[in-house]
Structure 1
Amino acid sequence: MCKVVQGIGNKIGEGGCAEVFEWEDGSKIIKLAKPNTIPAALQAELHHCQTAWACGLPVPRPYDLVVVEGRSGIVFERIYGDPIIKRFVERAVEQSRTQQPIDIMKDYIEAKITAKLFHQIHSHAVARMPSQRENIKNDINRAQYLTDAEKAAVIAELDGLPIKQQLCHGDPNPGNILVRDNDAVIIDWNNASTGNPEADLAEYVIMIRYAILPPHLPSEASVLLDATRETCINLFMEEYERLSGIRYADVEPWILPVAARKLVADGISEEEKRLLINEIRRRLHIC
């Protein structure tokens, strides 16, 4: 049951499914659902974040479900930190302005921070969470860009992959990772599940490799991203392998099903979806 309350502070962020506002004395935020988000989705996100919090993971402390002016929302601890994507954009603009060479050490530091964060998450096995594999299959079947035969072929590849039961975030993009005092906090747990860490890692690799940055970001960010995509992936995977023993070769088979499930995502452009479709069909042809 949601508690009905009134009054919010300044708006501080917005995503595809929610708006974020200051709450109470500023030590908390409220994530208010947009019309395209059903209350059950908020209930699930709260449960997932409570589960992660109970595991001692670096997540915002979740408090309660509330209703504000007829809109459902979740109250969280407010985290003061910069998203990795914001830090990346600022670095790109500064390097362009000062004509500095690419500083790979900063990419290395952030790759280490991110790999450590993912390893912390994946070190836990939890109960009462959605099945990652079923979520992926459902998304693949909803993908309008693939034929029925292509969907069946991708799912057949997925069915041949090993089964694990680890906690996975489900949307590990750089906008959901906040850096605070050289440590990371991860937000937006609505897609969390129990399954294979390799799927989370594949999601991250795909985002770095194929992302098309939004047009409102400075062009310098796209230039830097294009110059460092594979380096960032290699640095990240080297650190994750050091921590976990999982190699890029273990992640590679998951690229196909995770790329297919991303075709239903609202937050990526048609251009990015075309890149993913081309990659999916290339891999199916090889298979």
Structure 2
Amino acid sequence: MRLIGQGRTADIFEYSPGEIMKLYHADFPEAVVRHEFRITEMVGSKGLHIPEARFLHKEGNRLGIVFERIEGQTLLALLLGQILSAEETARMMAECHYGLHMQKDEERALPGQKHILEQAMMRVPMLGESEKQKVLADLRALPEHSQICHGDFHPDNVMLERVGGRCRVIDWMTGMSGDPAGDVARTWVILKSASLPEQAAAELHQAFETARSLLLDGYIEHYLRLSGMTWEQLEAWILPVAAARLDENLPEGEARHVLRFVRERLASH
């Protein structure tokens, strides 16, 4: 198999004509891989434009998922390559994200958004117990909905097909049922705080920082216009979403940035 991509948790290989395999590192929990496979199957059954998860495959002591291969590039790659402008990328992201949120999880088969955020936030060692309880009170007061949410929607998880120009959303490990406002808030937090890997070329870092504000503002403006959602509805989710993000294995600089942001929000309560 030929290696065609690498990430923090998995390597991507060509598997067969029309298929790729996402092969997780040996120390990655198999239960989480199986969870991603189930979530992707469930979401795919709703008719959404995502890569089909075909089967699980064991390679030595590593477990992988074989997916339909999407011929194209991520929106992030197209943005950094200056093939798409920040404004075009923002519009595509908003339209694609809104399309997901139009689909309901009627059976509530997907994990619940509030439960996921609460569990993540309570594991965060950087926050004190009183801080967690304040965020938890905010979270519990938020609306309950059952729309399909991605949970990690950003331009590196959206692929643009080379033929036809259709967007396909990848990496459904964090798929959930919940309020679209919370899912959009998650994207807002990611775009506000995320950075490229340190090993990325200096010119890519510069291109990303230059595009960040245009991308974030354009995405939010276009999504709100499409959906009729208000900024106030979205903003109510930002604190709990940001606090839960601290449970992730973030780069040190990004973790400090998010923690400072959470504490500033708590102080302004």
Q: Same fold (TM over 0.5)?
A: yes
161-170 or 244-253: which moved more? 244-253
Q: Which runs of 4+ in 1 moved over 4 A?
A: none
Q: What is the match of residue 61 of structure 1?
A: 52
Taking the TM superposition and a 5 Å limit, the aligned residue runs for 1:1-287 are 9-24=1-16, 26-91=17-82, 106-126=85-105, 127-181=108-162, 182-266=165-249, 268-287=250-269
Greater gyration radius: 1
Mapped contact 2:79–2:89 kept (Cα < 8 A): no
Cα distance in 2 between the residues matched to 1:45 and 1:251: 26
**Matched residue pairs, number?**
265
Q: Secondary structure at the match of 1:264?
A: coil
Amino acid of the structure 1 residue aligned with 2:76: I
Cα distance in 2 between the residues matched to 1:200 and 1:223: 27
Cα distance in 2 between the residues matched to 1:124 and 1:64: 25
Cα distance in 1 between the residues matched to 2:98 and 2:30: 31
Cα distance in 2 between the residues matched to 1:248 and 1:16: 33
Mapped contact 2:11–2:24 kept (Cα < 8 A): yes
Amino acid of the structure 2 residue aligned with 1:148: E
TM-score between both structures, scaled by the size of structure 1 = 0.87
32-41 or 223-232: which moved more? 223-232
Q: Give 1:175 deviation, angstroms.
A: 1.6
The runs of 5 or more residues in structure 1 that have no matched partner are 1-8, 95-104
Cα distance in 1 between the residues matched to 2:209 and 2:62: 40
Cα distance in 2 between the residues matched to 1:129 and 1:209: 27
Amino acid of the structure 1 residue aligned with 2:4: I
The runs of 5 or more residues in structure 2 that have no matched partner are none
Identity %: 29
Q: Secondary structure at the match of 2:56?
A: strand
Cα distance in 1 between the residues matched to 2:27 and 2:182: 26
Cα distance in 2 between the residues matched to 1:125 and 1:36: 34
Q: Secondary structure at the match of 2:198?
A: coil
Q: Secondary structure at the match of 2:20?
A: strand
Q: In the TM superposition, what whole-angstrom CA distance separates every residue of 1:114-135 from its partner, at most 9, and x where no partner exists?
A: 1111111111111311111111
For the aligned residue pairs, the C-alpha RMSD in angstroms reads 1.7
Q: In the TM superposition, what whole-angstrom CA distance separates every residue of 1:11-62 from its partner, at most 9, and x where no partner exists?
A: 11122222211112x3101111213322221222112111221122111111
Cα distance in 2 between the residues matched to 1:204 and 1:67: 33
